[in-house]
Amino acid sequence: MKCNVCEFRCKIDEYSRGRCGNYICAGGNIIQDPDIGYLGAYPVSIETIPLLHYYPSGKFLQVFSTGCNFQCSGCVARLLASGKSLDLPALTPSQVVEKAVQQECLGVVSTLNEPAANYYLFRDLAVQAKEKGLLAGCSTNCYFTDETLEELGKLVDFMNIGIKGYSDKSYISCGVPSSAPVFRNISRLFDMGVHVETSIVYSRGNEEDVIKVVKTLSNISPTIPVQVMRFIPFGDAPIELEPSIGEAENLCAALRKHIDYVYLFNSPGTELSNTYCPECGSLLAEREFYGPMGSRLLKPWTSYTCNCGKDTPVKGITANESFNEEGFMGGYRISRAFSMVHAVLTCLGILDDNRLIEIWGKVSNPETLNRIHHMVQQPYSYLEFIRLIAEKANVPEKGEELISFTLNRLELVKSLAAENSCHKVYYCMGSPLFALNAGRMENNLVTFSGGVSINKQLQKEGKPGVNVSPSFISEQNPMTIFISGFLSRPLDEFYSLCQQYGISADAVKKHRVYEVPPSWDFGNPRWILGLLYIADKLNPENSTIDMKKEANEFYLRFYGIPFEEAKPNRSFHRPSSGIWPRHVMRDTHA
């Protein structure tokens, strides 16, 4: 029999479960695998999905399962998308709806994995949600068939549709023959009155393709919000495909010639997370970065009409306060927690996905994830995180080897720390004006090195940081500035912004701004190399740290490859083979 859920129309029989692996043939019908259920249900703010023009700051219950009909490289939820069996307690639609009601959510939303892989499960969820007066929606690649879409469009209230590109080539890279069904479905959903927002991945070199996407959407309606997702190489894709924040901002400016509302994600500190009036350019809603796939309103959006009289197409009333997810709960941060566990397991020599899934099942309950969230913020408590994962994996001796390596370097840095008691340091992510939170690991690495973190003076909290004023940086006058290794910005763009904002700190004047190598300061055991890098930069006269030697020893011992053969990416998991840029390999005393 043919499955008619998505355009692949897979043949399902006793030998095949379809491309997504989640459907079976029973009694002459195609049904959802009865063992499939929702593996997590966490309350989130709607901007985390992300949707920006729908019940702003509203609290929704996010759910996810396993499986996807696409095969995209660099997927942020690779194992969830793969359809591998996860040994976790599964929730039924009725249990999800009950949780949503209990936690006073406005609705339910399916994210992380593709709902087409769990269509009958999601259909039941949407029906039951409506019966309880809840809203229902999803994040999807929207590769549904005509007949499925007609049914789905009557059940859902909102969708964020991820678009790979305009050309068929952009879809072929995901194992999909054509982009046409996606644009057909967007047009139909819009006509059916479903609230539609779109996300487009922008990688360096595909600018023209992104512009064609926006022109096509504009023909459907110029009011459809477009979220530009700057490509971040979490997988094996080369880091050269990651556009800088400045390049992405320039592309967004070009897109606004064709469509009314363009937003930039994965770019801390950008002003393009705000809503501006397409008629007169006035600021309507101000947001700040809130994790890789989210943003937060800085104050309630009280009126959707500009002073010039132009209305912004927003559905629903803005909540008085944004819902703030704790720790790793909600949104795509759950995938970051998964990546952190994966990163430790890789260093312990556990490379099998099935083992990874088994161990994840042992630590993925909210209580343990909350413990882990606190463990990964301090050098010594991170060692307890390593010990926890090693015990769950039944390889305690390998955990102690990694801990011993790290402890030896911690003692080395402690011996240098006394030299930095007056050395003021500022730690930012992407933009000079986006300060990392005071309690994060990066700032604790500065403190451990003996430096004085000016971020510790910030009272505001957010995930992973907050916007600050140029005057804060200038008045605190840091001697050194570090840019996060997770999301950074090229130094030429950074210095230009400092000049534009009038930042006059000594670190800028004396060119003591440093990009921490990718993923060296947070999220994985390579933070010990980030600590050595920071300590070395704070001790240019007294440091005896040989960064090249230290990096090579770590990479050989825990990844099995020399540092010079490792290719940089943003992955917590591990680097892949290739050649690192020369600026990372140079003598760090230079």
Tell me the DSSP string of 20-32: TS-EEEETTEEEE
Q: With 0-12 CB in 10 A as exposed, 13-18 as middle and 19+ as buried, what is 247?
A: middle
H-assigned helices in 74-226: 78-82, 93-102, 119-131, 146-152, 168-172, 180-191, 207-220
Q: What is the pLDDT of residue 579?
A: 46
Tell me which of 137 and 112 has the higher pLDDT. Answer: 137
318-369 pLDDT, tens digit per residue, is 998 878 777 665 556 777 888 899 999 999 999 988 898 889 889 988 889 8
DSSP 382-418: HHHHHHHHHHHTT-HHHHHHHHHHHHHHHHHHHHHHG
Q: What is the rounded average pLDDT of the residues 127-144? A: 97
Does residue 152 register a pLDDT over 50?
yes
Block residue for tokens 């000079």: 432
Mean pLDDT of the chain: 91
159-190 pLDDT, tens digit per residue, is 999 999 999 999 998 899 999 999 999 999 99
Domains of the chain with CATH codes: 23-297 (3.20.20.70), 333-415 (no CATH)
Q: How confident is the model at residue 577 (pLDDT cuts 50, 70, 90)?
A: low
Residue 198 CA to residue 220 CA, distance in Å, equals 12
42-82 pLDDT, tens digit per residue, is 899 999 899 999 999 999 999 999 889 998 876 666 655 55
Does residue 209 register a pLDDT over 70?
yes
399-440 pLDDT, tens digit per residue, is 999 999 999 999 999 988 866 678 999 999 999 999 999 999
Alpha-carbon Rg for the chain, nearest whole angstrom, is 24
CA distances from 357 to 36, 78, 393, 546, 571 (A): 16, 12, 11, 37, 18
Maximum Cα–Cα distance across the chain: 77
214-227 pLDDT, tens digit per residue, is 999 999 999 999 99
Comparing C-alpha atoms, which of 287, 271, 272, 276 is closest to residue 310? 276
Residue 412 CA to residue 419 CA, distance in Å, equals 13
3 state DSSP class of 89: coil
Beta-carbon contacts of 202 under 8 Å, excluding residues fewer than 6 positions away, are 210, 228, 229, 230, 231, 243, 248, 251
Pseudo-torsion of CA 396, 397, 403, 409, nearest 10°? 180
CA atoms within 13 A on the CB side of 518: 24
